[in-house]
């Protein structure tokens, strides 16, 4: 019986010739990731079991990104604990204020994850790295602690859904629209504990930024992971970047998939996800007139330079509407600097937006844009659950950078073709 990409990677890391869906395996890890919220819990478990060493100081990445720069005493204490652990065990890949970034933008940029890797992270959006042809998935902090100690993790091998992408997307359609469309089609539990494996002739039109966004939000369909084949786009991105030797795995022609979903990219329109689930989608043509109080452009989903360029192309020469707060957050320090050098930051500030240090910030209602009672935000983040960005009576509408920027200008959720 043939294997999918995910199954081949897991088999290789388990030292097995083959695996099948539902099989329990123990696999070697190429990287273990934690952030300023989840790592303190993992450290507590690490110390509770009496561990006094990590499996490999170069295969652990600790990123302070959710509440940094620290917003209060509690977040400061969490970061202090992580700093102490990183110093004690000489963790090579420790990222603090000044060199940090949003973890899922930072790790690919830094070349720490790549094709054929097996990665766990104590953050649900660790599935981002499937865009690079890796198996990566989110775990709990206890599993993170075990991973830091042993360099191994237990997995139940997932079954798979094949997503076939065809056609060329239109001007304002990007990876965010593709994944929101897919989630709207199959639902937030449509891929529960399955691997979403993307393929098809349409892949050549999706850049790495698009792929990272799509893989990032595989979890919003309930998936264990999302994964893309390694092709010319991957190779160009990883050339001179990835720090280890890539391992390229291809799905067998007789690989077994539970189902197949086909998406014609040329038929897509910009998509908006209404409160309070990512599956509650409508095309921009069916949105109606929805007033907003805030527009957020950034996050691990859409804080890359390509996203900022799109936002700048719409905001240039225009002003943010009265009564609207437009918050723009680059994914990493490198992206921040590039945006400065390209003149994007000047465009944002002249338009009346604010430009932040890299941080998860408002995505989880942390800081830099928490919503009050009754307020609405259009956001390029990845979740719109009740109270996700602040007050439980606030609302979050998920959309692409183009829609978020256009909406900031008009004060209403707006088709970028109509400004």
Q: pLDDT tens for residues 174-218?
A: 999 999 999 999 999 999 999 999 999 999 999 999 999 999 999
C-beta separation of 398 from 284 below 8 A: no
State whether residue 374 is helix, strand or coil: coil
What's the pLDDT at 178?
A: 98
C-beta separation of 92 from 58 below 8 A: yes
Distances (CA, A) of 196 to 4, 17, 192, 193: 10, 22, 10, 9
β-bridge partners, 354: 327
pTM of the entire predicted model: 0.95
C-beta separation of 398 from 302 below 8 A: no
What's the pLDDT at 238?
A: 94
Domains of the chain: 5-263 (3.30.499.10), 270-414 (3.30.499.10)
Task: Calculate the dihedral angle through the C-alpha atoms of 338, 59, 116, 307, rounding to the nearest 10 degrees.
Answer: -20
Per-residue confidence of the chain (419 residues) as pLDDT tens digits? Answer: 799 999 999 999 999 999 999 999 999 999 999 999 999 999 999 999 999 999 999 999 999 999 989 999 999 999 999 999 999 999 999 999 999 899 999 999 999 999 999 999 999 999 999 999 999 999 999 999 999 999 999 999 999 999 999 999 999 999 999 999 999 999 999 999 999 999 999 999 999 999 999 999 999 999 999 999 999 999 999 999 998 888 999 999 999 999 999 999 999 999 999 999 999 999 999 998 999 999 999 999 999 999 999 999 999 999 999 999 999 999 999 999 999 999 999 999 999 999 999 999 898 888 899 999 999 999 999 999 988 989 999 999 999 999 999 999 999 999 999 88
Bond from prior residue into 246 cis (ω within 30 degrees of 0): no
The tokens 């004060």 sit on which residue? 411
C-beta separation of 315 from 407 below 8 A: no
Bond from prior residue into 69 cis (ω within 30 degrees of 0): yes
Q: Which two tokens stand for residue 54?
A: 């990590």
Angstrom distance (rounded) from CA 109 to CA 31: 15
The tokens 């264990």 sit on which residue? 224
pLDDT per residue over 259-271, tens digit each? 999 999 999 999 9
Angstrom distance (rounded) from CA 237 to CA 109: 9
Nearest Cα to 302, choosing from 369, 226, 399, 408? 399
DSSP state of 55: S
Nearest Cα to 9, choosing from 340, 331, 230? 230
């Amino acid at each position: 019986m043939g294997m999918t990409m995910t199954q081949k990677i897991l088999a290789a890391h388990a030292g097995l010739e083959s695996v099948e869906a539902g099989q329990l395996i123990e696999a070697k890890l190429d990287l273990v990731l934690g952030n300023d919220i989840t790592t303190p819990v993992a450290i507590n478990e690490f110390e509770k079991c009496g561990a006094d060493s990590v499996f490999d100081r170069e295969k652990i990445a600790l990123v302070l990104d959710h509440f940094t720069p620290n917003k209060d005493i509690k977040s400061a204490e969490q970061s202090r604990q992580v700093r102490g652990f990183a110093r004690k065990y000489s963790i090579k890949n420790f990222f603090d204020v000044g060199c940090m970034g949003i973890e899922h933008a930072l790790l690919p940029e830094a070349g720490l994850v790549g094709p054929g890797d097996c990665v766990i992270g104590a953050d649900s959006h660790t599935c981002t790295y499937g865009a690079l042809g890796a198996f990566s998935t989110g775990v709990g902090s206890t599993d993170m602690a075990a991973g830091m100690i042993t360099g191994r993790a237990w997995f139940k091998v997932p079954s798979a859904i094949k997503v076939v992408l065809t056609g060329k997307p239109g001007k304002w359609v990007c990876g965010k629209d593709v994944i929101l469309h897919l989630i709207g089609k199959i639902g937030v539990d449509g891929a529960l504990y399955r691997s979403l494996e993307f393929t098809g002739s349409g892949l050549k039109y999706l850049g790495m930024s698009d792929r990272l966004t799509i893989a990032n939000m595989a979890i919003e369909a309930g998936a264990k992971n999302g994964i893309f084949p390694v092709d010319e786009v991957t190779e160009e991105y990883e050339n001179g970047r990835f720090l280890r030797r890539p391992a390229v795995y291809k799905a067998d022609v007789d690989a077994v998939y539970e189902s197949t979903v086909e998406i014609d990219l040329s038929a897509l329109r910009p998509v908006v996800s209404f409160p309070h689930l990512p599956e509650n989608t409508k095309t921009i043509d069916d949105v109606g007139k929805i007033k907003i109080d805030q527009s957020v452009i950034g996050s691990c989903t859409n804080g890359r330079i390509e996203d900022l360029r799109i936002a700048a192309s719409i905001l240039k020469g225009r002003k943010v509407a009265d009564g609207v707060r437009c918050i723009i957050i680059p994914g990493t320090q490198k992206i921040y600097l590039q945006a400065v050098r390209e003149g994007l930051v000047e465009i944002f500030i002249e338009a009346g937006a604010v430009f932040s240090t890299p941080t998860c910030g408002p995505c989880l209602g942390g800081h830099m844009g928490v919503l009050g009672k009754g307020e609405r935000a259009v956001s390029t983040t990845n979740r719109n659950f009740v109270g996700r960005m602040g007050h439980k009576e606030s609302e979050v509408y998920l959309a692409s950078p183009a829609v978020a920027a256009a909406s900031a200008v008009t004060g209403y959720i707006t088709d970028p073709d109509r400004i």
